[in-house]
Every structure is written in C-alpha cells, then in structure tokens.
Amino acid sequence: MPSRIPPHRAAALVALGIALACAPVVTTTTPTTPPADVAAPASANPLLREWTGPFGGIPPFDRITIADFKPALETAMAEELAEVERIANDPAPPTFENTLAALERTGRKLDRVTTSYGIWSSTMNTDEFRPIEREMAPKLAAHSDRITQNAALFRRIDAVYNSPEKASLTPEQQRLAWLYQTNFVRAGARLDDAAKSRLSAINQRLAELYTSFSQNVLADEGQTLLLTSESELAGLPQSLRDAAAAAASAKGQTGWIISNTRSSVDPFLTYADSRDLRERVWRMFVDRGDNPGAHNNNAIISEILALRAERAKLLGYATHAHWRLENTMAKTPERAVELLEAVWRPAVGRVAEEVRDMQALARAEGQNITIAPWDYRYYAEKVRKQRYDLDQNEVKPYLQLERLREGMFWVAGELFGFDFTPVTVPVYHADVRVWEVKDRGTGRHVGLWYFDPYAREGKRSGAWMNSYRRQERFDAGVTTIVSNNSNFVKGAPGEAVLISWDDATTLFHEFGHALHGLSSSVNYPSLSGTAVPRDYVEFPSQLLEHWLPTPEVLQRFALHYQTGQPIPQMLVDRIERASKFNQGFATTEYLGSAIVDMRMHLAGDRPIDADAFERETLAELGMPREIVMRHRSPHFLHVFAGDGYSAGYYSYLWSDVLTADAYQAFVEAGGLYDPAVAARLRQHIFSIGNTMDPADAYRAFRGRDPRVEALMAKRGFSSTSP
C-alpha cells in the first residue's frame, strides 16, 4: 500500500461472512447510492466533514457518492498545502513542536478523504469510479511532491534533526525526526530545481501507469469460466460446486462459474478431474494482464522500470533496488539476494522430489502425461492423500469461515487480551460487518475491526489489511480502525462457507496485520501500527499463522459444518505430519517472483521487455518447468500497482526468518500460549510501531538476532542442502 509524505499518510491509492446458527447476526447500515454524477455541495460533502458518531468518529460510508471524491480530494489537498506553507514560513526558529509536531497535525482532512478513496479503489472499483482514479492519481503524486520539494519546509526539518535540541527529545521524538528527515531526503528534497521538476514529472507519470496497470488486472479478473455440464464438475467437492453454482446464480446464469480469483482457482486446480478444464482455468489466472488487447500490461511494465531507474539516478542511487532497500532491515539488495539464493537451491531440489512422486503416481494410474503447471496441485493432493492419508476434502468440512473468525478472536483474547463485540455502523457494502475491540482487563475501547470477506466485481483479488485510522496519543489521541479484506466465494444464504487450509492460514495472516494495528500504543501517527519497514511488516502477520493449527483453536473452532463435531485428533495429527509437504512448490513459486522482481530493479537503465526478461531470468535460474511464478509480472500488483513492494517482494522471506525464530521462543518456553513470551511479543513487537529500529526491537523480544536455521527447519530444508 503506497504512502505519501508526510510519513503518516497511508491509503490504498495504488498502493471474511454469513450468519450461522453459532455466530452472532450483525446488522449493519448499508449505504444508499445517489446518482454517481451528482456531487454534494462543498459544505455538505461528507468526505470533507469530521468523522462523527461513536468510537471517536466513524467513516460516513452511508453518505458517500462517487461524485464526491474529486472535489473532496482537491479541497483537502489545497487545505493541506496551506497548512504546510504556514509551517514552512513560520518566522520563529524551527523546533520539534512548531515543525515536526505541527506537521503531524497537517492533512487530517486529506487522510479521511483518501481512506474512503482507497476503499473504493480496492473494493468498489466501478466503471464510474475508474475515470476519477485515472485523473486524480497524477494530481495526488504532484501534491506529495509539492510538500517534499518545499525547500523552506525541508530547511526547518533538517534544522530540527541536526539541532542540539534533539538530544533532549524523547526516543520516540528522535525517531520521528529521523523519519521526516530521511523521507524528505529520499524524496528529493536536496535536488536542484530542474531535478525536482523532472522528479515530479516522473512521479506523476508513474502514478498514471500504476493506475492503468491495476485497472487492467482488474478487468482481466472479471473473466470467468462457465461450466454447464455435470460431467465438467467431476472431482470437485460439493462445497466448491455449491459456491460455483451460487456465483453463477448471482450473475443470473445457469450452471457453475469459476471466478478468476485465487480462492476459486486454486481449489479447482486441486480437484477437477478434467485436465483440459484445469489448463483453461490455469491459463485464465496466470495470463491476467498478459492477454492481447487493451489490458496488456507488458509495455506499462517496461515504462515503469525505465522511470524508476531514472528516478533512482536522479536521487543518487545506483538502481531503484538500492533506493528502495536503503531504509529497510536488509539495507542493501545484496543482503536480500543472499537470502533468496540461500533458499533457492534447496527449494528447487525439493520440487524435483515432489515432481518425481507425482509423475510416478500419474503413471501408476495409467495416465501417460508429463506433469505440467496445471497438474501440480491436482497430483500433489493425490500424493498427500497417499503418503499421509490426508485428503483436504476431509479437512475442509471443519473449516467454516465464521467459526475460524471466532477462533481468531479467541486467539486475540489469549495473546493480546482483546474482546470483540459486533456493532452497527455505516458500511460501504452489505457484505461488510464491524466489531468493536476492547481491552479485556479494563474494558477500554481499543478500536474497530471491519471485515469484508467476499469476492465481487470491482474488488481486487487477494487478501489484505487496511488502516482506516491509525492509533495515536498525540494531542487528544484517537483509537485504531482497521479492516481485513478477502475474496472468498459467497455461498447461498444460510449455507456455511467452507475454506481450504491455505485460505484459513491466509485468514490468520491478515488478521495478524490487523492485530499489529490494533495493538499500537504510540504518540505520533507517523510511527503508529504497521507503519514499519516493508521487510518487517510481514513478521507479525506471518507469526500469527502458527496459532491456526494449535489444538486449542482446532478443538474449539474447527467444527464440522453439519455435525458440529470438532475435527478428530487423528486428522490433526495427519495435518501436522504433512505440514512440510509441498514446501518445494510453495517456496519456489514465491522465490521465482521475488528474484525476478529484484533482478528487474537491479538492471538499472537497461531497457527491459518484461515478457522476455521474465522468461530468460527463470530459465537462467533453472525454474522447474512444472511451476510458474506465484505472481507473473503482468499481474504483479505488489510491484507494479505502486512502489510498495517494488524490489521488495523478498520481504516475505526476510520476515519469515524472524517468524520462524520467534516461533521457537514460544516452543522453548513450553507452548504458543505462554503468557510471558506473549507479553514480550506485545511489548517489543506489536505495540511499538516504528518508534525504534526493528532490529533493536527484535533483539529486545528475543534476546539476540534471528537465526536462519529456524526458517530452513520450518520449510523442511537442510541449511546445507545442495
């Protein structure tokens, strides 16, 4: 999710529920939609007004129209520029209070506007919204540059950062001073006027390209496969058939629809007996952004890479990768590449073993085929069942979305002392539900958690967390509002939504991000919650995944959707025995994306044909032909819909080193619910935001630096594997 400066600005600018008998029914206020082309008068524009109501104010989703966005953005940008000018031209000598603290107060109105704007961009991206997004993207980029390129403002920031006064500031204030000074320098504050002008032009063009890239992917994700014959459903579990039928019914069609989203595609590739249909669905998914016509993203990628390389040179860096990694935990691309390469060889070696097993099974079944990418999940599932007596179809009936949500709440109570209560507030879509979060010990209000679980047209694929409002104690202080967003296929009314083990893991992962935001306890919004280095932010979320398979969660919340019986222990034991199964595939498809991302951004100003570069790089690496990148370049939203994960997709592996090592801290203490380790985790990781260097924060939690051996053991690799 891209950010703009000042550093506490963050919005999805590009950048899970049904009621069961066992779950509370939550009534929410669904927005009415006035005509999209009728904007509210400026004085009545709901986006420009303070958030009012309970919980310190809430977004007025029931009153927003698409036509409100452009005037609200323009008004809020102008107001922030006026606020910044007053600070920049203050005749008083620069101090922390009249410069940095003052900057923390600016742009509050724009924060509120871009929060809703980002929600519409990622979850309600309709034909009416897209032209506004295309128009406003470069204007928002230019607005950010007007702030970071304000010479008088930077002189004041730099003066505070280098002032003797800094020694008397609190550690958090010193960190804030460092953050402002560093971010402004990295954004070009020290460039001459000509270079600043070119830099702003680059940023505006990149904003246009990011918007076009994401809209092209969204268009291709609107593709579906309609199945019209029962014979085409061979092999599919009943839950997937029901979901596909519901998807077709929602579109007014007869039959079964396979949507072009991972939560629909992956289970189809796992169970569908028809090899031809598996290939069609696989190609539909992996070719997003790479189809002939107006939505092809390859030329856009080439231009993005060229502009990023030019920008890096303007800013004094060898490559975009060197610029992006300077203020991360890795610090340099070389350190990130070293980790990726250390894991690549054992991962590819494991893939060869997995393919041999699958090929042997296919031949034993009389299938004269060579394993292809659209076969991998299908035959891997057969091998899993044969080797571990574990059929994912046996597990899925116990994985009810609503029950797992309750399980996440229970874990949050055990580790963080949080209680969740459903509340009625305005929402932007009828699928969204909201819970108030309170501290169990004191009853103190902590924040709000919004849950948007289902796929729909205009919503980007995948799963993610948003911060609607960051916690702060600055001035009067505010509490956190966060959301989790997924793309599960909505079932028929009254039917349980059953999800895969992988999707359940992702559910816990994204909730980890939410807990990171909800746990925040800092003074300044720029340092709050998940506003941490990119290769650190995935650590808390990946860590929370480890609580899903604990007996405490499974016995309480993995309940059969028909019988209500908990998942049998023998099935849990099989899951545990198979936990390292298929790690070659999972690790290699991820690494392929991470390495291609890094190499593209280490290429400097070399012209790049994205399709050829991807193909040639993977061939040089020795990418197994049975696997493709988890995110192929033409739909790699992490990297090309914004700067967020550009040259930074390695971050998931870097964070997983921390995750695996931190998990061992609980193991060594006797269990994942050890209260002392949980307290240290809250104190040193989840609550402190970016108030200290993350390497120091991890050492405070663990007592030492992380060790990569824990990661290799977690994935079932030997650290000395060839």
Question: Which of the four pLDDT bands, split at 50, 70 and 90, describes residue 503?
Answer: very high
Q: Is residue 138 part of a domain?
A: yes
Orientation angle between helical segments 651-669 and 583-602, nearest 10 degrees: 140
Average pLDDT, the chain: 93
pLDDT of residue 392: 85
Strand stretches in 455-546, DSSP E: 464-469, 480-488
Average the pLDDT over 391-409 and give the result.
Answer: 95
pLDDT of residue 41: 64
Q: Are residues 22 and 72 in the same domain?
A: yes
Q: Is residue 26 part of a domain?
A: yes
Q: Are residues 244 and 100 in the same domain?
A: no
What b/e sequence results for 675-705 when a residue is b if at least 16 CB atoms lie within 10 Å of its CB, and e otherwise?
eebbebbbebbbbbbbbbebeebbeebbeee
* Catalytic option among 232, 436, 510, 545: 510
DSSP string for residues in 680-720? HHIIIIIS-TTSS-HHHHHHHHHSS---THHHHHHTT--TT
Of 234, 220, 231, which is closest to residue 283 (Cα–Cα)?
220
Q: Are residues 257 and 242 in the same domain?
A: yes
Q: Are residues 103 and 225 in the same domain?
A: no
Query: Which 3-state string (H, E, C) describes 552-606?
Result: HHHHHHCECCCCCCECCHHHHHHHHHCCCCCHHHHHHHHHHHHHHHHHHHHCCCC
Average the pLDDT over 577-594 and give the result.
Answer: 95
- Residue 646 corresponds to which tokens in the numbers above? 């550009």
CATH number of the domain enclosing 18 = 1.10.1370.40
pLDDT of 220 over the 70 cut: yes
pLDDT of 5 over the 80 cut: no
Q: Are residues 176 and 192 in the same domain?
A: yes
The model's pTM: 0.92
172 is catalytic: no
Query: Rounded to 5 degrees, what angle do the CA atoms 202, 113, 323 make?
Result: 30
Q: Are residues 19 and 102 in the same domain?
A: yes
Domain end call among 286, 304, 331:
286
Contact 489, 454 (CB under 8 A): yes
DSSP string for residues in 410-465? HHHHHHH-EEEEEE--B-SSTT-EEEEEEETTT--EEEEEEEEEE--TTS-SS-EE
pLDDT of 22 over the 60 cut: no
**Alpha-carbon gap, residue 241 to 570, rounded angstroms:** 27
Q: Are residues 134 and 248 in the same domain?
A: no
Q: Is residue 16 part of a domain?
A: yes
Indicate the Cα dihedral angle 53, 57, 58, 61, nearest 10°.
70
Which residues span the domain enclosing 230?
221-286
Q: Are residues 45 and 34 in the same domain?
A: yes
Q: Are residues 84 and 166 in the same domain?
A: yes
Question: Which of the four pLDDT bands, split at 50, 70 and 90, describes residue 32?
Answer: very low
pLDDT of residue 40: 57
pLDDT of residue 494: 87
pLDDT of residue 448: 98
Q: Are residues 228 and 256 in the same domain?
A: yes
pLDDT of 31 over the 60 cut: no
Contact 129, 70 (CB under 8 A): no
pLDDT of residue 35: 41
Q: Is residue 91 part of a domain?
A: yes
Q: Are residues 124 and 65 in the same domain?
A: yes
pLDDT of residue 15: 32
